[in-house]
Amino acid sequence: MTVLHVPERPVFDTAVTRLFGIEYPIIQGAMAWLSEARLVASVSNEGGLGVLGASIMSVEDFEAQVVETKRLTDRPFGVNFPLVLGDYHQHLEMCLDHGVRIICMSAGSPKVLTPRIKAAGALCVHVVPNLKLAQSAIKAGVDAIVLESYEAGGHVNVDGISSITNIPMVARHIDVPLIAAGGIVDGAGMAAAMCLGADGIQMGTRFLATAESNAPELYQKLLLEAGESDVPVHSRKFHPGRALKTPVIENVLKMEAEDRPIEEVRAFIGRGRAKKAAHDANLEEGIFYAGSGAALLEDVVTVRELFDEILAQYREVVGRASGLMRPRGSAERANGAVRAAHEG
């Protein structure tokens, strides 16, 4: 949707804006190879929270990203460590030394880093797919939960459920700030998540289609062209992920349909395919991770335009939803008129 006239942005006051000290409860989720300093700083400068993804970067390479982000923004930003990929103690110390105060962990046990993060006075955020893991992360002491539902891009839980059930399920059982992720690309998705009980949202895929993203043009073109059945979940038996249906994914889906052994599928996928997509735009060999919301994307915009757009849509959608109700008296009068018309 294009917003021709940019209305004044709404003011937010949620558990997430208060926790992070940001204006809008909009977080840019870390994306391996695709959430670098320019995007992260742009999101934070617009009043959201940008998050740098460490992925498998060396401490030195990641430090360069942290330093560059600090050069580009004086607002809060976060860093992400996907814990299954390695030992991030050194990365963490480097980030703390640079004054980073929002540490977002995913894919592993938060117990590994949480004590050190808390001792340093920083905030721990943990990404989970369901209520059970949200509760165990809270027990480990995290300050906020990102609930990544089944629509999300990147790695997903094969038993995952979609946001409409997952968000209220978790919201009603936890008492730390809840950030909803998965399939959200516009103000309607944001409004829905907040109505379901979230205190904020995290988006990945929508940020890939921005001018400040380092996603290559081919990646962005594929995102804009994607339809509703073009972003399937693959590798269901060992490391499920949601990505665009490119040649590699088509082949994985075929192997899975033929019930080929897991080892064979694993060997075919191998390593480094996300980087081949993100850095080399290699259509034949890369895996282009994306969420199902890609089907809704229509344009590449700047991060500023995206914030203007999404906040205007949010206001419009919330207004539309509340406009569907009338004061009780007027509704009864309207119903009475309908009854009278039927009877008369």
Ligand X SMILES: Cc1cc2nc3c(=O)[nH]c(=O)nc-3n(C[C@H](O)[C@H](O)[C@H](O)COP(=O)(O)O)c2cc1C
Binding residue (CB under 6 A) for ligand X from 110, 154, 160, 216: 154
- Separation of CA 343 from chain center: 53
Binding residue (CB under 6 A) for ligand X from 103, 291, 300, 309: 291
- Contacts (CB under 6 A) with ligand X, residues 90-109: 106
Distance CA 200, CA 188 (A): 13
Closest CB to ligand X among 143 and 151?
151
Of the ranges 88-96, 150-158, 232-240, 321-329, which one interacts with ligand X (CB under 6 A)? 150-158
203 contributes a contact to ligand X by CB under 6 A: yes
Q: Specify which residues 105 forms β-bridges with.
A: 81, 126
Burial 70-96 (b: 16+ CB within 10 A, else e): eebbebbbbbbbbbeeeebeebbebbb
181 contributes a contact to ligand X by CB under 6 A: yes
Of the ranges 18-26, 38-46, 86-94, 284-292, which one interacts with ligand X (CB under 6 A)? 284-292
In this structure, what token pair is assigned to residue 237? 């038996």
222 contributes a contact to ligand X by CB under 6 A: no
Q: Is 328 exposed, middle or buried (0-12, 13-18, 19+ CB in 10 A)?
A: exposed
Question: Residue 79: in which H helix or E strand, if any?
Answer: strand 77-82
152 contributes a contact to ligand X by CB under 6 A: yes
Q: Which long-range contacts (CB under 8 A, 24 or more apart) does 90-93 make?
A: 90/59, 91/54, 91/59, 91/62, 92/116, 92/117
Closest CB to ligand X among 154 and 323?
154
Binding residue (CB under 6 A) for ligand X from 16, 19, 34, 196: 34
Binding residue (CB under 6 A) for ligand X from 130, 166, 202, 235: 202
Binding residues for ligand X (CB under 6 A)? 29-32, 34, 53, 55, 80, 82, 106, 127, 148, 151-154, 181-184, 202-205, 289-291, 293
